[in-house]
């Protein structure tokens, strides 16, 4: 599985980087909370804010909610809704996206259960507004629909355990690739985007994780040049029990 993951990453990188693209810098901040309400059910709440490298312009914000069903301790099903607002630089305004999503994920611990490899498969149904100028005003001229598949491979490598506590430091290595399914007017490329992340994490008592690192965000376009964002990513993840 590790060899397959590495081969997939190298293939995607070779495809994506063979084209002309523009580059920029970003700062992403995210919070994800998981609230366990019963033996098999949990709720998910998530907020992300994606800024320019000066923290002056909010390029995109995302709010996601969902319900999670635990098939077992390592396998989970989930579904939910997301609202995304993205800034259109040329028009100086935000366009909205409404999104439904369904996912399956499973993970496996290894090396004396200190390291974790997670696989996540997510389907998305996206309704994305299209902006235009009418009478010197920015309006929503249309709404486009897209089906998308996302695959995430996430690896946590144990680095250090702090004495007399349950806190630990670990390395994060992950890659997520987005695939376009069917015809649409949002992105006609089969590979929609790719996100590669490497960073450090702190696990506090298995309830709160802080992660910071570098995210290479590559976005393809069917109407213009591709785009690569060199991104500093900050994330807080919490597991809470009702």
Q: What does the alpha-carbon distance between residue 208 and residue 62 come to, in Å, rounded to a whole number?
A: 21
pLDDT number for residue 6: 55
pLDDT number for residue 140: 86
Below-50 pLDDT ranges, the chain: 4
**Beta carbons within 8 Å of 160's beta carbon, 6+ residues apart:** 168, 169
The total of other beta-carbon atoms located within 10 Å of residue 184's CB is 17
Contact 51, 59 (CB under 8 A): yes
Contact 51, 29 (CB under 8 A): yes
Distances (CA, A) of 148 to 51, 101, 113, 180, 182: 24, 9, 33, 5, 9
The total of other beta-carbon atoms located within 10 Å of residue 117's CB is 19
Please give the model's pTM, rounded to 2 decimal places: 0.90
């Amino acid at each position: 599985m590790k060899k397959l993951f590495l081969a997939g990453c190298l293939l995607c990188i070779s495809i994506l980087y063979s084209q002309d693209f523009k580059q920029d810098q970003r700062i992403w901040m995210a919070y994800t909370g998981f609230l366990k309400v019963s033996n098999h059910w949990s709720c998910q709440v998530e907020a992300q804010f994606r800024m320019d490298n000066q923290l002056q312009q909010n390029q995109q914000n995302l709010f996601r909610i969902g319900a999670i069903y635990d098939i077992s301790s390592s396998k989970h099903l989930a579904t939910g809704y997301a609202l995304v607002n993205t800034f259109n630089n040329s028009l100086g305004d935000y366009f909205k996206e409404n999104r439904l999503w369904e996912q399956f994920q499973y993970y496996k611990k290894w090396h004396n259960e200190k390291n974790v490899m997670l696989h996540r498969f997510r389907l998305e149904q996206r309704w994305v507004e299209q902006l235009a100028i009418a009478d010197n005003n920015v309006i929503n001229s249309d709404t486009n629909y897209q089906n998308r598949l996302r695959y995430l491979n996430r690896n946590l490598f144990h680095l250090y355990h702090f004495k007399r506590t349950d806190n630990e430091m670990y390395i994060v290595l992950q890659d997520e690739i987005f695939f376009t399914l069917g015809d649409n007017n949002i992105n006609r490329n089969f590979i929609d985007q790719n996100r590669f992340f490497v960073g450090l994490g702190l696990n506090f008592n298995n309830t709160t994780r802080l992660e910071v690192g570098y995210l290479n965000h590559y976005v393809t376009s069917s109407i213009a040049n591709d785009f690569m964002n060199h991104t500093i990513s900050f994330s807080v993840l919490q597991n809470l029990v009702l």
